[in-house]
Amino acid sequence: EKADRDKPMNIESDALRYDDLRQASVFTGRVVLTKGTILIRGARLDVRQDPEGYQYGVVTAAPGQRAFYRQKREGLDEFIEGEGEVIEYDGKADRVKFIRRAEMRRYRGATLADEMAGSLITYENTTDVFTVDGGPASPTPGGRVRAVLAPRESASAPAAPRTPATPPAQLRSSPGLRGEAQ
């Protein structure tokens, strides 16, 4: 959510190396980054800051693994979770990119609402716009994008406890009514 912008970012990892040439610090080994409601996990994290103070992070996962990203949505009791072999976080545009075997899930409270899978997913936090591109690196068969959208909010509010869905009793004339050749 927006409040994450001015929250302190703290990072835990096995090791830290500062790369002066690229003005970036590189964390390696079970890296966990938290910034307000944002949580990122991965094997290696490169963080760099631009002159205006926006931060850019690139998280790469251990080979065969996927990095993990999680953030609360603005003003809603909903969470966005995403996974991908590489996760790029752009502080300035408040955009997250999941690259290769990308998956994004949206939770409404505890229940899973939407779910996307593709080879590249970009998610604009401010405008709530996401784009999913297919391609060979998609986890779904045939490289196609697959999305599962939850039923609409209004419809799914469980107004009354749903009675078990038994088919309504249809009164039909039994074939016997035609009567056999007596």
Binding string, 58-97, against another protein, x = CB under 8 A?
----------------------------------------
181 binds another protein (CB under 8 A): yes
3 binds another protein (CB under 8 A): no
Give me 15's structure tokens: 């090791």
Specify the residue, 6 or 153, whose C-beta has the smaller distance to another protein.
153
Number of residues that bind another protein (CB under 8 A): 40
Using the structure block, give the residue that is written with the tokens 């990072």: 11
CA nearest neighbour of 57 among 33, 21, 28:
33
CA nearest neighbour of 142 among 169, 167, 117, 159:
117
Q: Which of 111, 151, 159, 161 binds another protein (CB under 8 A)?
A: 151
Q: What is the CA radius of gyration of the chain?
A: 24
- Min CB(28)–another protein separation in Å: 34
- Min CB(5)–another protein separation in Å: 20
110-115: long-range pairs with CB below 8 Å, 24+? 111/150, 112/150, 113/78, 113/149, 113/150, 114/147, 114/148, 114/149, 114/150, 115/147, 115/148
Q: Which of 49, 65, 126, 131 binds another protein (CB under 8 A)?
A: 131
109 binds another protein (CB under 8 A): no
Give me 1's structure tokens: 């959510």
What's the number of CA atoms in the CB half-sphere (13 Å) around residue 86? 9
Residues lying near another protein in the complex (CB under 8 A) are found at 106, 114, 116, 118, 127-134, 140, 144-153, 155-156, 162-163, 165-167, 171-175, 177, 179-182
